[in-house]
Chains A and B, each alone.
Chain A
Amino acid sequence: MKRILPPLIPFVVITLAVEWMVRSGTVPSYLVPAPSAVLRALFDSRDELAVAFAKTSAATLVGFVLSTVTGIAIAVLLSSSRAIQRAFYPYAVFFQTVPIIAIAPLLVIWFGYGMKTVIASAFIVSIFPVIANTLTGLLSTDPALRDLFRLYGASAGVTLVKLRFPAALPQILTGLRVASGLAVIGAIVGEFIGGQGLGSVVDVARTQQRIDKVFAAVLLASVLGLALFGLINLISALTLRRWHASEQTG
């Protein structure tokens, strides 16, 4: 309850305030729908929204898992030598700076309309924080511990698995938290251009002036982002609670 109550109070207060402002005419309903209207849209379009939610969730998850696996692998490769890092890290930065909305039409050309484009969009948007945070973590290994591993003849592989990777875990999880939210954004943008899911629901509802349905779809996208974020937090709590300050309370 201690965890739920603090964010719940502002949510209830803001929802009630918006409801009052829309009903009293302070804010026109064609700009912001009343929360009750959003609830109604959620209920009325439940079948369509459920299918869209499932599609967006699947694409987000696949894109996120791909960016996690690929991002960590790239970071391991980059951390293996300064020369490799200098040669390839700028290209990793490219993924962060490229505006996804600008290259989304290209993704449609490359992958066609459908799931592949959405997954690619989620992947491109979410991979950079995984690379950057994992790389920082891998490069921050305590030099004394690296010496200790050398002293006892540990190979580079053993040092990676038993020292560098676990030591980098807090930073890796921070990267995954950021990436989880970005993966949802990437999937929604991909669906705007070439897929089906909450993004296409938003796009169609917008053209139909169904702002209540737009908000309903956005709400579900937020729920998806929060669920993914919660999953990473759970993994973080399970893996770090015994030894890392970020997961220790009191």
Chain B
Amino acid sequence: MTNPTVTETARGVALRLERVRRVFENNLVVIEGMDLRIDAGEFLAVLGPSGCGKSTLLRMIARLSSPDSGRIVTEPEQFQTAFVFQDAHLLPWRTTLDNTALPLELMGLGRDERYAKARAALAQVGLEDAESRYPAQLSGGMRMRVSLARALVTEPRLLLMDEPFAALDEITRFNLEVQLRELWRRRGMTVIFVTHSISEAAFLANRAVVLARRGGKIRLDRRVDLPPERTNDLRSDPQLGQRLGHEMKLLMGAMEEE
């Protein structure tokens, strides 16, 4: 769909984590000396067991918290970030359109401009007909798509996602994964996608890192060897499915070493 109000070629952000350390108030060292480079426009999946520091890492990259030592360098320095949470976290008193337009409202854009952009973002996730509905009137999958539209509406150069599809049923999840992958390919933004799901990481990402249980050590850092265009056929096609299975096996191996 051609969309005049949403740029489809926004470049991504390059990140460099240098000796990043994060300690919680109870002296629990969540991340210890993490080094990681993420290229502009990369789709990176971050895997690891619960409590390994995946979400903490995302919050630091989003600048919602700071490392206790070390630094996170970005190129460029100033850019728009968007965050998609595990649940949709919509404002229940706002319609789909108003929820989608919220970031632009907070950034001070005028009503007409933000509604035009919000409608364009909703169209990108196939929800143009649901703009006047409230979150309570939407299914779980639709709510997550609104959440995705809300993240995309600012045309972010960095999209951070913290297990966004974990609570959804498998069919909805498969379809959203295809949709996300397609949006990423069109926009060229950097995506960092935290997940527990090995199949999700292998299907979505260009590169996957597996974190150790303690201290955020990287156990595996691997380029996912799959074609750039990924549809649900990838899951069922015998040849491609075999390659997907191989990637999953490698990731699972790194997870099991834990």
Instruction: Enumerate chain A interface residues (CB-CB to B < 8 A).
Output: 142, 144-145, 147-154, 158, 162-163, 166-167, 169, 242-244, 248
Contact = CB atoms under 8 A, between A and B. Distances in A.
Contacts of B59: 147
List the 3 closest A-B pairs by CB distance, nearest first.
A152-B106, A243-B92, A144-B89
A148 B93 contact: no
Judged by DSSP, the binding face of A is helix
A248 B106 CA distance: 29
Given A150-B64, A248-B136, A166 B93 contact: yes
A148 B92 contact: no
Contact of A242 (B62, B87, B93, B102): B93
Interface in B32-80: 59, 62, 64
B166 interface: no
Nearest to B90: A145
A34 B212 CA distance: 79
Given A152-B107, A158-B106, A166-B91, A147 B83 contact: yes
B199 to A, nearest CB: 25
Nearest to B92: A243
Contacts of B62: 147, 151
Nearest to A169: B93
Nearest to B162: A144
B91 A145 contact: yes
Interface in B81-104: 81-83, 85, 87, 89, 91-93, 102-103
Nearest to A145: B89
A148 B83 contact: yes
A243 B138 CA distance: 11
Given A242-B134, A243-B135, A243-B136, A153 B91 contact: no
Contact of B89 (A148, A158, A242, A243): A148
Contacts of B154: 152
Most B Cβ at <10 Å: residue of A150, A169, A242? A242
Contacts of B134: 242-243
7 contacts: A148-B85, A150-B64, A151-B64, A151-B103, A152-B106, A153-B106, A243-B134
Interface in B180-194: none
A153 B103 CA distance: 9
Nearest to B81: A151
A142 B89 contact: yes
Interface string B134-169: 111000000000000000001000000000000000
A170 to B, nearest CB: 10
A158 B106 CA distance: 8
B83 A151 contact: yes
B85 A144 contact: yes
Contact of B107 (A147, A150, A153, A244): A153
B20 to A, nearest CB: 19
Most B Cβ at <10 Å: residue of A144, A152, A167, A169? A152
